[in-house]
Structure 1
Amino acid sequence: MPSTHAAAFDLFGWFGGSDEPPAPSAEALPYSLDYTVGGGKSDLEQTLKDASTLQSLQDEPPPDAAALAARAEADLPRLIDALWGAGYYNARVAINVAGVPLTLQAPRTEAAARAAAGYRARALVPIQVVVDPGPQFELRNVAIREAGTGRPFLPSELPPRVVKIEPGDPARSADILAAEARIVDYFRAESRPFAKVEEREPVVFHPALAMDLSLAVDPGPRAGIGPITIQGAENVDPAVVRSFIYTEPGDPYSPAALASMRKSISQIEALGSVRIREAETLDSYGNLPLFVELTERPLRVIGASAQYSTTDGPALRAYWAHRNLFGGAERLRFEGNLFYLTEDGGQPDEEDEEFDWSDLGGRFRASFLKPALWGTRNDLLVDALVERDRTEGYTSRLVNATAAIRHRFSETFSIQGGIEYERGQTTDVLGQIDYTLVGLPLSLSYDSTDNALNPTEGIRLIASVTPYPEFLGSSVPITIAKGTASAYYSLDEEARYVLAGRIGLGSIVGADLEEIPANRRFFAGGGGSVRGYTYRSLSPTFLGEPVGGRSLIEASLEARIKVTDTIGIVPFVDAGTAFESSYPDFDERIRVGAGLGLRYYTGIGPIRLDVAIPVNPERGDPSYAIYVGIGQAF
């Protein structure tokens, strides 16, 4: 059957599936469905389809003619309501079933059933929806008054930009309901949690083709945030949850404050869903009590993933974590990565195609997080890392340990400081360096984005500076500063068109380039940098090999366009490189990559496929690169 083949081919919903009804059979009574809309109002056809059960159930044909006629008769009031909702209050609808017209005034269901029965196992029953919408009504008078007093709201109390409907607009019920929702949301944002529309009085004047609308709105009293009760966290210390709540009793109530509270609590990995329920009355202080209802996630989690890039080669990752080790939402995580280290994207050398164990590399990381130390907004973070890495320019081996305290000022802003120890060895064309680094890392993070894996609005800023002074034991006294900022802007309310931009900067001071371990120098290129170029290959060179730099600049720009609800395309351009000096002096040529990405949106985040080409390549650069991963590029 054609419809079966179409559904099988339409793997990701590219083509919207097939609208063809099932074929005639002896077990059911399938039907064809056509729409005829008069008055040149063909744009109403989709409105009718959205309201029609004949349309939504077309692929589930009824067993007999009586059921089909009943289904058609039941559609009549639905279609009339849909047309009224669009502002057509003189609309007339007839549904012809096998040539027998059904109307609200004359259903004739028995005659329609007899006519339809003759099509069983022979042909599709022809059904035609015939609509005469008539003229569209307009709003004539719009009055929005305070419930109880009946007085109109002043513009300073209820701005016209909130209401948006006015005389002369189409009298669509959807627009009226949307205006009511905006009015209620406005007053709730003004710390009035019980705002509501008490009465709605639409009066339709058929001869004048007009509607008069009167709304009685009760703003309700102003309120603050009252006592917060935590419920449902049986195995997580409530003090930990409270440390992630940044509002205090008495702060002004607003839906935004509640959304912020929900987002902040959701950062606790031991917790699953977070629901904030409001009390039905204010307390004696005029505040609104809140109830935070939580569910917990499974204590342990294990996972694995694989990724591949034509320039960076294949990589495997596996991890295990415990989300609530001692009952205070402590997280213990072990993660291992394994990757192929050849310098040409994992492809064997032409002269030696045999697998070489020395080309394998990886890293093993153990991390521990203790949130809310003693019930405060301070978190303890401890990390340990063992790594063997190799890029086009260098190989390295190291062990690293870091301990830090993070202070959370709010759900969006935090600072972190600690101590870091690293001992390692790097080898590149400049020689071998055995080094020890002992530093005092300091960083700040600001993140107002709406989604970690697929942000559509907000700003994300991460900046850090780490001095490695000689008096602490560092063999190379340097200071490393890095910063990344990204911004996201949605061009429409549904976030189907999103502009995303990123810029990254870096600087190293305190030592000459050849004294700095190669893995600490700056490089650009690769999936998280300038796409289209080999991983960490863009930098100053020596004897034709990249050696890294003491400063870095990177930038990216993307247009994230949703073609359907699940499929998106992303044209992008990246640029950047590293420089020998401690600041970008642009002695090196800025390298540019451009390409097109495909996104498949899932519940856990978008699956990403990017194809990039170097815009201004040099000898040895790849002709293209392909990247696959989960989440947006930045």
Structure 2
Amino acid sequence: MLYIRCILIACSLFVSCLTFASVEVRVSGVDGKAYDNVMTLLQIARLNDSESYADYRVRYLHRQAPDDIQKALRPYGYYQVEVNAQLESVESGWVASYEVVLNEPARITKNSWIINGDASDDDVFLALLKNSDLKENQRFIHSQYEALKSRFLSLASRRGYHDAHFNKHDVEIDVDKNTANIDVIFESGQRYRFGSVTFEQDILNDDLLQRFVPFEQSDGYTSQELSNLQVALLDSGYFSQVQVTPRWNDSKKHHVPIDVKSTANYRNQYQYGIGYGTDTGARVSASLNRRWVNSEGHQLRGMTQVSQIESRIGANYIIPGQNPQSDYYRFNAEVSDKDNEGQESRLYRLGASSVVTMSKWRHEFGLSWQRDDFEIGETIGTSQFLIPHSSWNYMSADGRLNIDKGFRFDATLKAANDAVLSDANMASLELGFKAVLPLTERFRVLTRANLGATYIEDFNALPPSLRFFAGGDHSVRGYAYEQLGPEDDTGTVIGGRYLATASAEVDYRFKENWRIALFTDIGNAMIEPNEKLKQSVGFGIRWISPIGSIRLDLAQAIDEPDKPWRLHLTLGPDL
């Protein structure tokens, strides 16, 4: 009988251990990333609270919980953690509560980072140490220590310390004293330098390709310069694929040779387009780009466009300069026809220019000859001018298409002398300014201004292509394209000697890639500089497309309230 009773008691205990219940876990006294790490490493917290578990398993994991929590908090510098653990049986199962007392964290009492080798006087490495989050008397966070070690190795790889390694990397934690001693010795070795650059391709002369190389042989190696070389070659249009590889195994005297393997692009690029703009009306276009004419990398670009207002055909012959990714010589020829509200003209132009880029500045100077056959209002004429010209452009922006902050400045100077293939003495200056400024995360302010002045004794000798006009999508909205300025007796806008326009706009990003805008424009083209300026106001919507902002605006000329609201549709970047 006693034997049977013992068996029954054992069975009841076994059954009680197999009782199944759900578990709710509560942790207090810790937050942020430390809390997230606790919940990741706390085994009992990984139980699914929608499922049931055997009581013995819950009790076992509960006993392990203080160790789990203490281990989870050590990477954050807490080595004296106390945990008050409670396990309650409730109707729905179990509630496991853990009240965490962090106490004081371990603080850094020694922070020794010794750099041996060429990197010891490398300003980039010294700046890395200076800007590190690891400081004496600061809480020791293990992830910051590991991150700094990783940055050392990554920086060494990017800056040519190919043999770099840690001789020593120790952290000594004194739990009783709550201190952390960091002792690191980094051996950078000798810095590698650029060796010769070899191009594997068969379409261009090696002399031209060597001019794309942004570094000199024996310069200190950086992977960024190799990336710059790859981007420059791809942007040139000559190649569809470019691979730039350092040959570390072939290094001699710490000079690493560079291999550039490239795949030639299609030699001819054809483009066709159809579109509409409120300045141009409906238009169709076609272009041919001969990416390389010869082994010297010369390029030929031809373009034709037919639109309701202006049609043109032209060609540009491009010769790469000393710095071929940004400098070049250009020879161009163009014929255009224009018919716009009483203005009819045909322009023939030949020109040659040199373009040089220095940092964010771009300078173009050249010489062009043009002949105009024109009829504007009551004036019919033919003119020719040989025009030396020079222009400067500066642009700084935080992007190419979707710009939140940027600035642009343009200046163009032209002149002509009646003794040299010109019908009159002439001088002209044009200035342009644009800016995009952020107000908040969603609001921007966009401003622009344009000024122009021309000296010529007989204004009638100046062809329409050299006069100033206002009005249109990029000038004073609310007025038609080039329909703001002095008029003759027939009511035809004939253009002016002077130009002044400005715009202020505020837009708001109400949805990703969508903005609404309010704006006001002011300006005019004038014979005399003191004539009245005309103003307009309006609103619009913008879609930030993959090829630039598409803008749809409605504007009203407030100085002429009898004029209807005018629609403006444009495409392009904000600067």
TM over 0.5, shorter chain:
yes
**Contact 1:552–1:576 (CA<8 Å) still a contact in 2?**
no
Distance in 1 between the 2:204 and 2:97 partners? 60
- Offset at residue 407 of structure 1 (A): 5.1
- What is the CA deviation profile of residues 12-51 of structure 1, one whole-angstrom value per residue up to 9, with x for unaligned ones? xxxxxxxxxxxxxxxxxxxxxxx9996599987xx9xxxx
CA RMSD in angstroms, aligned pairs only: 5.1
2:551 is matched with 609
The residue matched to 2:131 in structure 1 has which SS? helix
User: Which of 251, 269, 272 is the equivalent residue of 1:301?
Assistant: 269
The residue matched to 1:524 in structure 2 has which SS? coil
The residue matched to 1:440 in structure 2 has which SS? strand
- What is the CA deviation profile of residues 525-560 of structure 1, one whole-angstrom value per residue up to 9, with x for unaligned ones? 333344454322343445555332223344556778
Distance in 1 between the 2:494 and 2:198 partners? 57
User: Which of 360, 366, 378 is the equivalent residue of 1:418?
Assistant: 366
The residue matched to 2:248 in structure 1 has which SS? coil
1:56 is matched with none
The aligned amino acid for 1:613 is A
The aligned amino acid for 1:552 is L
Gapped regions of structure 2 (runs ≥ 5): 1-23, 62-95
The residue matched to 1:539 in structure 2 has which SS? coil
Counting matched residue pairs gives 508
1:227 is matched with 196
1:598 is matched with 542
User: Which of 280, 290, 312 is the equivalent residue of 1:363?
Assistant: 312
The residue matched to 1:441 in structure 2 has which SS? strand
2:429 is matched with 481
**Contact 1:311–1:622 (CA<8 Å) still a contact in 2?**
no
Determine if the alignment matches structure 1 residue 552 to structure 2 residue 482.
Answer: no
- Offset at residue 511 of structure 1 (A): 3.5
1:178-577 equivalent positions in 2, closer than 5 A? 194=162, 198=166, 217-218=186-187, 221=190, 225-231=194-200, 233-251=201-219, 257-258=225-226, 260-280=228-248, 289-310=257-278, 312-341=280-309, 361-372=310-321, 379-392=328-341, 394-404=343-353, 406=354, 408=356, 410=358, 413=361, 415-429=363-377, 431-446=379-394, 452-454=400-402, 460-486=408-434, 502-542=448-488, 545-555=492-502, 567-569=513-515, 571=517, 573=519, 575-577=521-523
**Contact 1:273–1:296 (CA<8 Å) still a contact in 2?**
yes
Return 207-216 or 241-250, whichever deviates more.
207-216
The aligned amino acid for 2:497 is R
- Offset at residue 323 of structure 1 (A): 1.0
Distance in 2 between the 1:490 and 1:281 partners? 49
The residue matched to 2:460 in structure 1 has which SS? helix
Distance in 1 between the 2:169 and 2:231 partners? 35
The residue matched to 2:314 in structure 1 has which SS? strand
- Offset at residue 262 of structure 1 (A): 4.7
- What is the CA deviation profile of residues 53-96 of structure 1, one whole-angstrom value per residue up to 9, with x for unaligned ones? xxxxxxxxxxxxxxxxxxxxxxxxxxx9x737x9x877963252
1:153-172 equivalent positions in 2, closer than 5 A? 158-159=126-127, 162-164=131-133, 166=135
- Offset at residue 247 of structure 1 (A): 3.5
Determine if the alignment matches structure 1 residue 140 to structure 2 residue 84.
Answer: no
Q: Relative to structure 1, is the Cα distance of residues 195 and 416 closer, same or farther in structure 2, using a 3 angstrom cutoff?
A: farther
- Offset at residue 145 of structure 1 (A): 0.7
Q: Relative to structure 1, is the Cα distance of residues 600 and 591 closer, same or farther in structure 2, using a 3 angstrom cutoff?
A: same
Distance in 2 between the 1:204 and 1:398 partners? 82
Distance in 2 between the 1:572 and 1:377 partners? 37
Gapped regions of structure 1 (runs ≥ 5): 1-34, 48-79, 107-129, 342-360
Q: Relative to structure 1, is the Cα distance of residues 500 and 375 closer, same or farther in structure 2, using a 3 angstrom cutoff?
A: closer
2:51 is matched with 99
- What is the CA deviation profile of residues 463-493 of structure 1, one whole-angstrom value per residue up to 9, with x for unaligned ones? 332322222222243223334455667899x
- Offset at residue 592 of structure 1 (A): 5.3
1:29 is matched with none
**Contact 1:307–1:314 (CA<8 Å) still a contact in 2?**
yes
Distance in 2 between the 1:253 and 1:374 partners? 21
Instruction: Name the structure where strand makes up a greater proportion of residues.
Output: 2
Q: Relative to structure 1, is the Cα distance of residues 387 and 442 closer, same or farther in structure 2, using a 3 angstrom cutoff?
A: same
Give the TM-score normalised by the residue count of structure 2.
0.68
- Offset at residue 230 of structure 1 (A): 2.8
**Contact 2:385–2:423 (CA<8 Å) still a contact in 1?**
yes
The residue matched to 2:473 in structure 1 has which SS? coil
**Contact 1:579–1:588 (CA<8 Å) still a contact in 2?**
no
Q: Relative to structure 1, is the Cα distance of residues 476 and 325 closer, same or farther in structure 2, using a 3 angstrom cutoff?
A: same
**Contact 1:311–1:534 (CA<8 Å) still a contact in 2?**
yes
Give the TM-score normalised by the residue count of structure 1.
0.63
User: Which of 618, 627, 633 is the equivalent residue of 2:569?
Assistant: 627
Distance in 2 between the 1:204 and 1:441 partners? 72
User: Which of 529, 533, 544 is the equivalent residue of 1:589?
Assistant: 533
Return 312-321 or 412-421, whichever deviates more.
412-421
Task: Find the structure with the greater CA-based Rg.
Answer: 2
The aligned amino acid for 2:460 is E
The aligned amino acid for 1:608 is I
Distance in 2 between the 1:539 and 1:473 partners? 29
